[in-house]
Amino acid sequence: MTDGLVIRDLSKTYFDLYSGQHVAAVEDVSLEIHNGEFVSILGPSGCGKTTLLNIIAGFIAPTRGEILLNGRRIQGPGPDRGVVFQTFALFPWKTVLDNVGFGLKMRGVPKPERDRIAREYIALVGLEGFEDRYPHELSGGMQQRVGVARVLANNPELLLMDEPFASVDAQTRMTLQEELTRIWEDRRPTILFITHDVEEAVFLANRVIVLSARPGRVRETIDVALPRPRSWHRLVEDAAFKGLVARVLSLVRTSPS
Amino acid sequence: MSAAVPAGTAPTAIGRVARWVAATPAVRTLGPFVPIVAAWWIVVEMGVFPRAFFPGPLEVVWSFGDLTYKGILPAYLQDSVTRLVVGAGVGIAIGVPFGLLVGLHAASYRFFWPVVIFFQAIGDIAWLPILLIWFGFTLTTMTFVIVYTVIFPVIFNTALGVRMIPADMLRAALSLGARPARVLWEVMIPGALPNIITGLRNGLGYGWRALIAAEIIVGTSGIGFMMFDARRAGSVVEMILGMIVLGILWYVVDAGLLGPVERATIERWGLTRREG
């Protein structure tokens, strides 16, 4: 049995109603992510990286190929794969505590136990004291912290993050990136992080997978051996970091389209 | 003290009391009616129209006391409100689940939608002739008319509400382990609630008007009957009294029932749609 996520020859073709043509979003994608790894998937916009994530999450079905998570074939969405959305997708009618405890509630965990675990993860993302607030009372950055805590509290085998920090301001984004690396170093969840931001991809991950322009194919995989803990303060002047960013950037920019 | 402040507006003790009084709910609600009643009273006192055709506020108040004392007004009011509550209850009990069905299930939508549009076009009152033959002057006839009026806005708005829930929110619930039945209860219904409440508000408003119309035609009891019956005695006072009761009662339902529900749910959750 293979551990982690295994994707073999995955393709997705859409039928475009307007042009009446079949459009390949991703083509023959094969990749592996081991348990405890932090992998960024990077590609130009429209390269099908969100399609790839949606297939792994089980929201849409692939045209060909298969996906195994810890040896099990993926079929439809499930709590083994937690998703953090760009739009946060919090439940506005639930407090922070109840948002974070949602997955546990669905599993039938009793209320006192559920609240205890939810409080632990709310503290982990630095939101103590906000347990009884509603999402609309929080800033964008705080809302996405809730989004991360909600998924972590459910203890998934794989964390899927779809450009989660793309809709927060630049300063907040850097803070959230640093905190995500801190949480990863602390708990070692398996993370697949989708982004179009080269620096973000390199800063966060152990490995960056670069996709080509549409149809998305795996163009190259780059190992990121930068020391941890990582902080923007240190890496912004770091030669190794800058070199990696330049290399990845050239791959993305020269991607045939 | 700034020169820009006109004389007499200095924040004196009297001024503060006046502002405090103006801010109380009773004054805020009733205040706008003061000029209307005053104008009414002035026109009556000018004697332009004969008193019997155009009675003043005092006669109406007196009539209110008289009909309340005789027990007619409370009994009719109770009849009307009971009919509205029964009709609205049945309308919501059918309309919300049906709205969820057509909102969520594409095949049901395709099948039922033409039927819904067809029956919506047949106004509630248009059913009265056939209902009177089938059920006579009964509560069933009244309930049918009110249910019929309440149900369409509830169906339309509920269906709209579930369709407006962002796809990511449903995906989030599914990937957190929610089964479809839980998604319905935990995400669909609360997510559609702002629209469901809008549907209820419209539905109840139409239902209240349909009820009065039905009472005038079916005519056994109720506020609508009281007003129409007053025509036989030529009692304009009772007609005006009926109109005032209708307005007050709807205000009470809106401010006392729908308003608090709205504040406790969609405003608390930040789901109110900001205008402008």
**What CA–CA distance (Å, rounded) separates A43 from A206?**
17
Distance from the Cα of A213 to chain B's closest Cα (Å) equals 25
For an interface test with A, the pick among B176, B187, B195 (most A C-beta atoms closer than 10 Å) comes out as B176
- pLDDT at A256 (0 to 100): 56
**Closest B-chain CA to A87:** B168
Nearest CA in chain B to A77: B175
The residue length of chain B stands at 276
Q: What is the pLDDT of residue B221?
A: 85
Nearest CA in chain B to A95: B269
Residue % of chain A over a pLDDT of 70: 98
Q: Which of B168, B182, B268 sits opposite A106 (nearest CB)?
A: B182
Which of A56, A93, A98 is the best substitution to test chain B (most B C-beta atoms within 10 A)? A93
- Please give the average per-residue pLDDT across A157-171, as a whole number: 93
In chain A, residues with a C-beta closer than 8 Å to the C-beta of B262 are: none
Residue B273, pLDDT score: 52
Note the pLDDT of residue B3: 46
Interface confidence (ipTM) of the complex: 0.92
Q: What is the average pLDDT across A51-65?
A: 93
Residue-level pLDDT at B101 = 93
What pLDDT sits at residue B2? 45
Does the beta-carbon distance from B191 to A93 stay under 8 Å? yes
Q: Which residue has the higher pLDDT, B2 or A61?
A: A61
In percent, the amount of chain A with pLDDT more than 90 equals 72
3-state helix/strand/coil string of A54-94: HHHHCCCCCCEEEEEECCEECCCCCCCEEEECCCCCCCCCC
For the ranges A202-216, A225-239, B208-222, the lowest mean pLDDT is seen at B208-222
pTM: 0.82
d(CA A63, CA A87): 26
Instruction: List the single residue in B166, B177, B269 with the smallest CB-CB distance to A134.
Output: B269
| pLDDT of res. A1 | 56
Chain A residues whose C-beta sits inside 8 Å of any chain B C-beta:
57-59, 76-79, 81-83, 85, 87, 89-93, 102-103, 106-107, 134-137, 150-151, 154
Q: Which residue of A has its CA nearest to B266?
A: A93
Which residues of B touch chain A, with CB atoms under 8 Å apart? 166, 168-169, 171-179, 182, 186-187, 190-191, 193, 265, 268-271
Q: Over its length of 276 residues, how does chain B's per-residue pLDDT go in tens digits?
A: 444 445 455 567 888 888 887 777 777 888 888 898 888 888 888 888 887 788 888 888 888 888 888 888 889 889 888 888 888 899 989 999 999 999 988 898 999 989 888 988 887 778 888 988 998 888 888 888 889 989 999 999 999 999 999 999 999 999 999 998 999 999 999 999 889 888 988 888 888 888 888 888 877 888 888 888 888 888 888 888 989 988 888 888 888 888 888 888 878 888 765 443
Confidence at residue B9, expressed as pLDDT on a 0 to 100 scale: 54
Partners of residue A192 on adjacent β-strands:
A39, A160
Q: Which residue of A has its CA nearest to B183?
A: A106
Confidence bin at A202 (pLDDT 50/70/90)? very high
In this complex, do B168 and A89 lie within 8 Å of one another by their Cβ atoms?
A: yes
Tokens found for residue B20 = 């405090």
Q: Per the structure block, which two tokens stand in for B136?
A: 């006579």
B197/B203 Cα distance (integer angstroms): 10
- Is-cis flag, bond preceding A229, omega within 30? yes
